């Protein structure tokens, strides 16, 4: 496949398959969310399973995910996933561990400005940082005009943000600010509500499954860790506002509720 020709294709369904930056060049856009969840689920399978076939399948998925990551190199996603895995046994593996969150909250609040400054600096110093800073300024300029409902979604078959605002204006590159620009205050609050709802459902379902079966459900655990990582990366990458995030969020919410219902029925039958 000629990646350069695909990137400049007038057909947006083809051009959207390829991305480019000066550091990594032209490269295909993989289904990042599916790959990362598969990696996490395979990792848990590897830790829990004793069957040779399952271990081999998990190793194959891990190897494939690592190979794809070596091509696309989504560093912030991998870093927040590792952080989420480290925090899971400390804060999320039992209900009573949440008390530690209350204890550590003051320290987290102190660290937030420093971390935010570091993240913003990295965000703006990356490839195209100067252009991104101009796009941020334009977003903040236009947000008050459509504060509550937002400017709306553009269309590949009509006027785009580049036609209406500036050639370099892409709200999807502006994190939560871009979401606010497109969907306004109401849309952003709804987005945050659904993010928390999905995460909480996954956490409750994971605890219920572990209490009943004395082991993790690899898919539930992988989804929980991924959504925890997305929480850390929320300001810069509100991924649930886009196609693959909407799909994964819907599946995660459905799977969590199905597992919760099954656990509750099992508990009632024992009584």
Per-residue pLDDT of the chain (271 residues; tens, 9 = 90+): 788 888 888 777 787 788 776 666 787 778 888 888 999 999 999 999 889 999 999 999 999 888 887 777 777 788 889 989 998 988 888 887 666 666 666 666 666 666 666 666 666 566 556 777 888 889 999 999 999 999 998 876 778 888 888 888 888 888 899 999 999 999 999 999 999 999 999 999 999 999 888 899 999 999 999 999 998 888 888 888 888 899 999 999 999 999 988 888 877 777 6
Ranges of each domain in the chain: 95-270
Strand, helix or coil at 18? Answer: strand
pTM of the model: 0.86
DSSP designation for 89: I
Phi, psi torsion values for 60, nearest 5 degrees: -65, -45
Burial environment of residue 144 by CB neighbours within 10 A (0 to 12, 13 to 18, 19 or more): exposed
**Please, what's the b/e burial string for 108-134 (b: 16 or more CB within 10 A of its CB; e: otherwise)?**
eeeeeeeeeeebeeebeeeeeeebbee
Whole-angstrom Cα distance, residue 239 to residue 179? 10
């Amino acid at each position: 496949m000629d990646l350069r020709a695909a990137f400049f294709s007038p057909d947006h369904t083809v051009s959207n398959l390829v991305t480019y930056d000066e550091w990594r060049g032209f490269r295909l856009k993989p289904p990042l969310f599916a790959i990362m969840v598969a990696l996490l689920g395979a990792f848990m399978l590897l830790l829990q399973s004793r069957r040779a076939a399952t271990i081999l399948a998990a190793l194959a998925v891990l190897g494939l995910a690592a190979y794809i990551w070596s091509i696309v190199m989504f560093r912030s996603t991998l870093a927040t996933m590792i952080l989420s895995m480290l925090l899971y046994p400390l804060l999320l593996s039992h209900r009573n561990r949440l008390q530690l969150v209350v204890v550590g909250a003051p320290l987290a609040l102190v660290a937030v400005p420093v971390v935010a400054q570091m993240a913003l600096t990295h965000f703006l110093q990356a490839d195209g940082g100067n252009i991104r800073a101009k796009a941020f300024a334009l977003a903040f300029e236009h947000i008050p005009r459509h504060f509550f409902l937002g400017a709306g979604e553009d269309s590949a078959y009509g006027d785009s943000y580049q036609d209406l605002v500036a050639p370099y204006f892409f709200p999807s590159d502006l994190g939560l600010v871009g979401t606010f620009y497109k969907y306004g205050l109401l849309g952003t609050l709804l987005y945050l509500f659904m993010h928390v709802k999905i995460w909480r459902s996954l956490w409750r379902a994971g605890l219920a499954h572990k209490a009943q079966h004395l082991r993790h459900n690899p898919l539930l655990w992988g989804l929980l860790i991924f959504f925890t990582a997305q929480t850390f990366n929320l300001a810069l990458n509100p991924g649930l506002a886009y196609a693959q995030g909407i799909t994964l969020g819907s599946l995660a919410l459905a799977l969590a509720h199905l597992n919760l219902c099954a656990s509750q029925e099992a508990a009632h039958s024992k009584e």
